[in-house]
Amino acid sequence: MRTIPSSIIKLSGLFFSLSFIIFNFINRDLSNIAMICLLFVSIYSIIFNDITLRINNQEKILIYSFTCFSVMIFAFSVYHSSSLNEVDNYSRFLLLLPIYFYLRTININSKYLVYTILISSLLSFGSVLMIYDDAAGNMSIPGRFNPISSSALTFGNLNMTLFILLLGCWIFRDKLKLSSFLLLLGLFVSFLSWGLTHTKGSILGLAIVLIYLNVINKFFRVFSLCIILLGTFIVSSTELNQRFKVFINDTILLLHGESVMSENIDLSIRERVFYYQSAIDIIKNNPLDGIGFDSFESYLEQKKVDQNLNLRTSDHAHNEFLDIALKTGLIGLSIFLILLISIYKFFNTSSSKNSQYSFFECLGKITLLSQIGFMLTQSQLAHHQSTVFFIILILIFASQITYRKNNIP
C-alpha cells in the first residue's frame, strides 16, 4: 500500500493543530472538523509511519493519568447504568491521546503558536462585533455576547484562556523576538471579548495565574498592575459593571442576615447555592460512589418541587469538583485530583532554563491553573468545546516539550 509522504503528513498535522485553535473562535463545526482531521492524521501516522508508542518515565505521568481518569469514568458509568452520552466528553481524555504521540514527532515553531493565539483573539473580537447592533447601540441577540459557544460562560472562559496564554507569551517576548504592540493588542481585544460575555467566574482563573506568574517572575508585578487597571477600565465600560454591582449588593444583604434564597438575591447566585448545597447533600449521602451521571437534574427537579423554589435546574453542579464528586463519589474525585496534579507535575518536571521548551512549560502550567480556576464556578467537562480545547492545548504543549528534549540539544 502506498503511503502518504511524511512531509505532507507533518504539514497537515501542523495545519490542523493550529487551525483547531483558531476555528474555536469562528465556528464550532469547523473546530470539530479540524480536531477529527488531526486525530485521523495522528492515527494514520501511528499505523503507517511506525511512530513508536514507547514512553519515558516523565511521559508516563501524563499518559497514565489520562488513561486512569477515562477508565474510572467508564467504570462508574457502567456501575450506575448511566447513558453513554452523559460521559462522552470525559472519554476525550483517552480518545485524543494519539494526537500526543503524533505531535511529539513534529516541531511546532513557538512563533507560529503565538501568532495563532493572536489571530484567534482578533477573530474572536470580530465574531462579537458581527452580532453587535450598531444602530441600537446594543446586541442584536439580547443578553450576554456569545457568538460561537453553547453558553456565554464557555465563550468567556475561552477568551480568558487566550488572554492568559498571551500573558505567558509576554514573558517570552524578548527571547522569541515578539512584537510588544501585537501582544498588547491581542491582550486588549481578548480581555474585551471576555468582558462582553459578563462571565465573572473567569476572574478566578486569571487570579490564580497572576499569583503564579508573580511568584516565578518578579518583573511581572508592574505588568500585573497594568492588567488590573485595564480590567477596571473594561469592566466599568461594559454591562459587566452592573453584574459586579449586583454581586456586591447581594453580598451586603447576605452579611446583614438576608436569606440566600430570598427573591432579593440575584437569581444566578440563588441557583449556584442551590446546586452547591444539593451536591454537598448528595456527597454526604453517597460518599464513595456518588449517584451517576444522569441523576443530578432529576434530583434538583424533585428538590425544587419539595421546597417550592422558582429556580432553573441543571445536569451539572457548576463546580467541576463537586460535579465529579456527586457523580462518582470521593473515589472519582480523588482520581480527578490526581489527573490535575499529574499534568502539573509533567510540566513542572520539564522545568528548565532552556528556552527551547520553557516556553511550552509555562503555557502548559498557566493553561492548567486557569482551568482549575474556571472549574470553581463552571463544570468545564460538561461542555464539549471547553473540554476538547483544554485537552488539545495540554497535548500540544506537552508534545513540544518532549519533541525538544528528544531532538534539540
Rounded CA-CA distance 274/267 in Å is: 10
What was the pLDDT predicted at 311? 84
- The answer as to whether 330 is a domain residue is no
How far is residue 175 from each of residues 110, 125, 138, 355, measured CA to CA in Å?
A: 11, 28, 42, 8
- The answer as to whether 161 is a domain residue is yes
What was the pLDDT predicted at 140? 43
Domain range enclosing 181: 6-52+76-242+350-407
Q: How many domains does the chain have?
A: 1
- The answer as to whether 68 is a domain residue is no
pLDDT tens per residue across span 254-269: 776 777 777 777 778 8
Q: Is the pLDDT of residue 120 over 90?
A: yes
- Is the Cβ–Cβ distance between 376 and 204 less than 8 Å? yes
pLDDT tens per residue across span 200-223: 889 999 999 999 998 888 778 788
pLDDT tens per residue across span 122-143: 999 998 888 765 434 444 444 5
- The answer as to whether 220 is a domain residue is yes
Rounded CA-CA distance 7/37 in Å is: 16
| Short-list 399, 394, 384, CA closest to 66 | 394
- The answer as to whether 251 is a domain residue is no
pLDDT tens per residue across span 4-18: 777 788 889 899 999
Q: Which residues contact 382 (CB under 8 A, 6 or more apart)?
A: 89, 315, 316, 323
Rounded CA-CA distance 347/66 in Å is: 15
Q: How confident is the model at residue 226 (pLDDT cuts 50, 70, 90)?
A: confident
pLDDT tens per residue across span 347-395: 987 555 556 688 999 999 999 999 999 999 999 998 999 999 999 999 9
| Short-list 132, 231, 127, 248, CA closest to 188 | 231
Using left for φ > 0, alpha for ψ between -120 and 50, and beta otherwise, residue 143 falls in: left
